[in-house]
Structure 1
Amino acid sequence: MERIFLTKYIIITGGVVSSIGKGITSASMGRILRSYGLKVAAIKIDPYLNWDSGTLNPYQHGEVFVTNDGMETDLDLGHYERFLDVELPGLSNITTGKVYKSVISKEREGKFLGACVQVIPHITNEIKEMIRLISDNEDYDVVLIELGGTVGDIESQPFLEALRQLRNEEGHDNVMFVHVTFIPYLNAAGEFKTKPTQHSTKELRSMGINPDVIVCRSQEPIDDALEGKIAHFCDVDQKAVVNTPDAGTIYEVPLVLEENNIGELIVNRIGLDIKPDSSKLDDWRKIVESLKIESPVVNIGIVGKYVELEDAYISIRESLQHAAANVGVKANIIYISSDVDNLDEEVMGNLHGILIPGGFGERGFEGKLDAVDYAIEHNVPLFGICLGMHSIVTQFARRNGYPEANSSEFDSENPHPVIDMMEEQKKVKNMGGTMRLGSYDCKLVKGTKTYEAYNVEDIAERHRHRFEFNNDYRKDLEDKGLVISGVSPDDFLVEIVELPNHPWAVGCQFHPEFKSRPNRPHPLFKSFLEAIYEYSKN
């Protein structure tokens, strides 16, 4: 299919070390371009062989982000959605697994006419085709493409070659490369070292790719002389060497990049028909200022099983920060392991709010139930998400006539499985891609705290789970006081519950954190923070 609309591409690669902020850099450039009035999309390429992120351990890869259309993706798509304030499709996450599976399927169908299928051209062509699907589906002015990992990784080589070919095919003036590197500071030598960046850029150039911009990550600012040295050895203009030292909040990065005129660099390099204007980021500056508030402080405990790695709950953390800034408080987030026999009473006693996030597996579930019990006994605002909702329902049942209540996920022989698997899931054997995923409609019940938060009757939220509230116990638990405040449009699936006689205790089956934005906090998180602030005054 011939494309009539001309889309520009910005490709972001990384060097020296992983986790240096390519995703934030990409999202920040997107935010700048969006502020200019451009239509921007983003793609994350993950070179691992998994088809998607769904079966990856949060300890290894952080949070699994879910798109509206039900794709389990890399967490960077969450950054893109939050910074760009858009809803991206599952097509925005490309993995090696997806690429090879598609090519092998085509080969089995005879689409290559007996050719010997090879990395070049078949794999590289498939990569380019997947990239172009985004701009084929919608007329974007700019598509950001972030390549995961670092230059030099074996698994990244086919993607780098495909991206090199993309530049040649789309035209030099329509594709630019941004290389994000790390500038380490050696205490023993008392100086920053540019050699890793030089080697990383040399490796990239050996693949036939010359970066147009080098973004230098560092703990502290580097000086002009160092930028000049990098420009000289890496063969870029000194104005195209951009330093982004560690910031107080990730949402400052667009402002730092704009101060370094990266918007102007991009506009001039790929010939965008607009005039860069930093004043367009004024609304974003106000958001950043609100996020930097220092008082009053509220303490929020996230009681989960993956707390050793904060990235496992990154969207929840950001959603709490968005809501706190909107309410006018600073959220001090305390990560508490649920994988303990007894929660620390001193730590729990200092909390103004408790959030129980999702998760899979039995480990840590009893600790989550203890957190629910603590919130009930002390009237602490409580928010349960997915497995957190299951914890609220299970503990409520145990306190109201079903002392052995549990989820059949953890005890298939339990006499009172108040949480049970959906019927259509019981025969499924594969772990990947078998859940209720993506956006589903929900009808709210007027007169509930949830309805007050949204102030509308019909909503749609993103899901990622297999187990549901067991309707066999619905009437009895409602008779005992449990409030059902949100259900599927056919009234069959329970989506939201609330505890009676409590200042604020809400559990939802879906993941509201995926839809929160710094400029538009999610209604449930905002309502939760308002309740926390009121509780903190007592």
Structure 2
Amino acid sequence: MSKFVFVTGGVVSSIGKGIVAASLGRLFKSRDYSVSILKLDPYLNVDPGTMSPFQHGEVFVTDDGAETDLDLGHYERFTDTSMSRLNSVTTGSIYQAVINKERRGDYEGGTVQVIPHITQEIKERIHRVAKNTNPDVVITEVGGTVGDIESLPFLEAIRQFRKEVGRNNVLYMHVTLLPWIASAGEMKTKPTQHSVKELRSIGIQPDVLICRCDRPLEENLKDKLSEFCDVPMESVITAQDATSIYEVPLILEKEGLAQQTLELLQLEQRQPDLRQWQTLVENMASPKQGIEIAIVGKYIQLSDAYLSLVEALRHAAIAQGSEIKLRWVNAEKVEQTNPETYLKDVSGIIVPGGFGIRGIEGKIQAVAYARTENIPFLGLCLGMHCAVVEWARNIAKLDRASSAEFNLDTPNPVINLLPEQQDVVDLGGTMRLGLYPSRLNVESHAYSFYQEEVIYERHRHRYEFNNAYRSLFLENGYAIGGTSLDGRLVEMIERSDHAFFIATQFHPEFRSRPNQPHPLFLGFIEAAMKHHSFEVVPSVSKKAVQEMQVGMGGNIPAEVISN
């Protein structure tokens, strides 16, 4: 039988529950325990597929085509385990399922209520994850914070869960903030005390406290939290700010989180193997050179909108011994001036995915600049569409060439709607979604990176390369790097006379892992390092500065601060 860990949050949102859940998953995996991680999101949307990236950040896509919360990306990257639509649950999906059952008469005329019907549906979703892959441990992150009215059904469901599966099979972990009040010169535990009090009023007593703080948590404060929150002192875990999210598993391991969790769940204490993870963190801290990559996007005000892309770049940069600096470029501003203003001296240019016409002309100009200046270029999904439109306008000279997504009246729709999308009305969950195979041209640049003739990548799109222009496309120095297995859909394009010019219909960033960077990103970073790099000047980390503050009585030399 699987064991169950429930991760809740208090005091404030965006406190890092997802990273804590993913890190705990990594610690279990390092001890050869199998893990699956589930996210319970309290919003009424059925899934985040139709939500604005400015509000929700990235929509992460699983192999089976689910549009999910970005935390599932963290789960996959940290545990190196593919998630599925079973691992993402929203209030909207729960209510939709219950209402469908009521309409079918499944409740035999009974009154449908939050308790027991909604809570039972939530519990069934958690059990479904356990039954699907039979992992040793199922970690469930409850979105939002304790006290949110939207989260109450989820909290009630996990309260009931322990009684049903047995006390020793369930562990409650509460992530909370301990703020440093500068004017008082001390860290405050009162917000955490109130958060735990709220949780206990619902009937949930946390077994482990994860204390988020920006400096070490002193023993007297741990003792205070243990006393007031009724948690053993060894289960009060410090989760201090880290320079990278990939340091968090190592920090929590040092704090004894895994040992405490295994003990409380009555699982065998096994020796962890975190050598690969330790090497990853060490390599991040000692890059040989630096590069600057421009991301020309339309949602750059919220970097979480491109979270998997950023992490995939980091994975590849770490593997190549490089430090990566990101230059966020607003595509709309590129439209208004010469792209060189925003893209000069970069090591590489990426045009990522997105939807709608806003900023498109700026993206197309960025593609043209990368092509003509021989700057390594990677286009992803919409980025491939922009690359095809740029070819059609500037090389093939096709009259008013565009994508049918942007201009239905264009005489040259070089990007067109997928045939199966013609009669689609509902926007949510109806695109070409999930893992699909592609066949690579063995003479292509793409094949030199993958070294496989058939690859599998995740998709999220409605539009495709218009095959009416395929033969003309091949006449101008372009090549088709990969297609669907039947040859009908163009999946990758490239230029053979360029340092690195590849665009994909799929999203390779979703399959990158810290310990196994995606081959396309490895190739892109390698080309970027050859194109333009800079010497990395060693810097003093925030943690090191704090240690200096303690060691020097709070007086830090000016030259250290300036570095």
> Normalised by the shorter chain, which TM-score bucket?
over 0.9
Deviates most, 199-208 or 216-225: 216-225
Distance 2:212 2:103 in 1: 45
Question: Which residue in the other structure is 1:254 paired with?
Answer: 249
Following superposition, the deviation at residue 72 of structure 1 comes to: 0.1
Give a deviation string over 1:306-330, Cα, whole Å, max 9, x none.
Answer: 0011100000000000000111111
8 Å Cα contact 2:376/2:499 also seen in 1: yes
8 Å Cα contact 2:291/2:533 also seen in 1: no
8 Å Cα contact 1:358/1:388 also seen in 2: yes
Partner of residue 530 from structure 1, selected from 523, 526, 529 = 526
8 Å Cα contact 1:342/1:367 also seen in 2: no
Question: Which residue in the other structure is 2:269 paired with?
Answer: 275
User: Which letter maps to 1:458?
Assistant: V
Aligned: 1:393 with 2:388: yes
Aligned: 1:383 with 2:378: yes
Distance 1:491 1:459 in 2: 14
Pairing of 1:275-424 with structure 2 (within 5 A): 275-278=269-272, 280-340=273-333, 341-342=336-337, 345-400=340-395, 401-424=397-420
Aligned: 1:21 with 2:12: no
Distance 2:127 2:192 in 1: 30
Partner of residue 63 from structure 1, selected from 58, 64, 87 = 58
Give a deviation string over 1:48-75, Cα, whole Å, max 9, x none.
Answer: 0011110011110110000000000000
Partner of residue 38 from structure 1, selected from 28, 33, 42 = 33
Aligned: 1:10 with 2:38: no
Give a deviation string over 1:213-234, Cα, whole Å, max 9, x none.
Answer: 0001112222111111111111
Following superposition, the deviation at residue 537 of structure 1 comes to: 5.6
Distance 1:299 1:219 in 2: 28
Question: Which residue in the other structure is 2:116 paired with?
Answer: 121
Counterpart secondary structure, 1:306? coil
Give a deviation string over 1:341-386, Cα, whole Å, max 9, x none.
Answer: 2255344112000011000010011110111111012110000000
Partner of residue 520 from structure 1, selected from 508, 516, 534 = 516
Question: Which residue in the other structure is 1:429 paired with?
Answer: 425
8 Å Cα contact 2:339/2:365 also seen in 1: no
Partner of residue 207 from structure 1, selected from 178, 198, 202 = 202
8 Å Cα contact 2:295/2:329 also seen in 1: yes
8 Å Cα contact 1:381/1:504 also seen in 2: yes
**Structure 1: any 5+ residue segments left out of the alignment?**
1-5
Q: Which TM-score applies when normalising by structure 1?
A: 0.97
Pairing of 1:456-495 with structure 2 (within 5 A): 456-495=452-491
Distance 2:373 2:524 in 1: 16
Give a deviation string over 1:190-228, Cα, whole Å, max 9, x none.
Answer: 111111111101000001000000001112222111111
Structure 1 stretches of at least 4 aligned residues deviating more than 6 Å after TM superposition: none
Distance 2:376 2:515 in 1: 24
Question: Which residue in the other structure is 2:71 paired with?
Answer: 76
Counterpart secondary structure, 2:423? coil
Distance 2:343 2:533 in 1: 17
Partner of residue 493 from structure 2, selected from 490, 497, 512 = 497
Counterpart secondary structure, 2:493? strand
Counterpart secondary structure, 2:474? helix
Question: Which residue in the other structure is 1:85 paired with?
Answer: 80
8 Å Cα contact 1:62/1:312 also seen in 2: yes
Counterpart secondary structure, 1:501? coil
Counterpart secondary structure, 1:339? helix
Distance 2:338 2:15 in 1: 34
8 Å Cα contact 1:68/1:88 also seen in 2: yes
Distance 1:389 1:134 in 2: 36
Following superposition, the deviation at residue 405 of structure 1 comes to: 1.1
Distance 1:449 1:473 in 2: 22
8 Å Cα contact 2:287/2:318 also seen in 1: no
- The number of aligned residues is 531
Counterpart secondary structure, 1:479? coil
RMSD (CA atoms): 1.1
User: Which letter maps to 2:513?
Assistant: R
8 Å Cα contact 1:343/1:371 also seen in 2: no
Pairing of 1:222-233 with structure 2 (within 5 A): 222-233=217-228
User: Which letter maps to 1:276?
Assistant: R
User: Which letter maps to 2:239?
Assistant: T
Structure 1 pair 154/111, CA: closer, same or farther in 2 (3 Å)?
A: same
Aligned: 1:234 with 2:229: yes
Following superposition, the deviation at residue 499 of structure 1 comes to: 2.1
The alignment-based identity, stated in percent, is: 49
Distance 2:120 2:174 in 1: 23
User: Which letter maps to 1:495?
Assistant: E
Following superposition, the deviation at residue 292 of structure 1 comes to: 2.4
Following superposition, the deviation at residue 293 of structure 1 comes to: 2.9
User: Which letter maps to 1:305?
Assistant: K
Aligned: 1:266 with 2:243: no
User: Which letter maps to 1:135?
Assistant: A
Following superposition, the deviation at residue 515 of structure 1 comes to: 0.3
Aligned: 1:149 with 2:144: yes
Following superposition, the deviation at residue 135 of structure 1 comes to: 1.1
8 Å Cα contact 1:33/1:40 also seen in 2: yes
Deviates most, 396-405 or 349-358: 396-405
User: Which letter maps to 1:522?
Assistant: H
Counterpart secondary structure, 1:94? strand
8 Å Cα contact 1:291/1:322 also seen in 2: no
**Structure 2: any 5+ residue segments left out of the alignment?**
535-563
Partner of residue 219 from structure 1, selected from 214, 218, 223 = 214
Q: Which TM-score applies when normalising by structure 2?
A: 0.93
8 Å Cα contact 2:404/2:417 also seen in 1: yes
Question: Which residue in the other structure is 1:173 paired with?
Answer: 168
Structure 1 pair 186/443, CA: closer, same or farther in 2 (3 Å)?
A: same
Question: Which residue in the other structure is 1:3 paired with?
Answer: none
Deviates most, 67-76 or 235-244: 235-244
Distance 2:498 2:442 in 1: 18
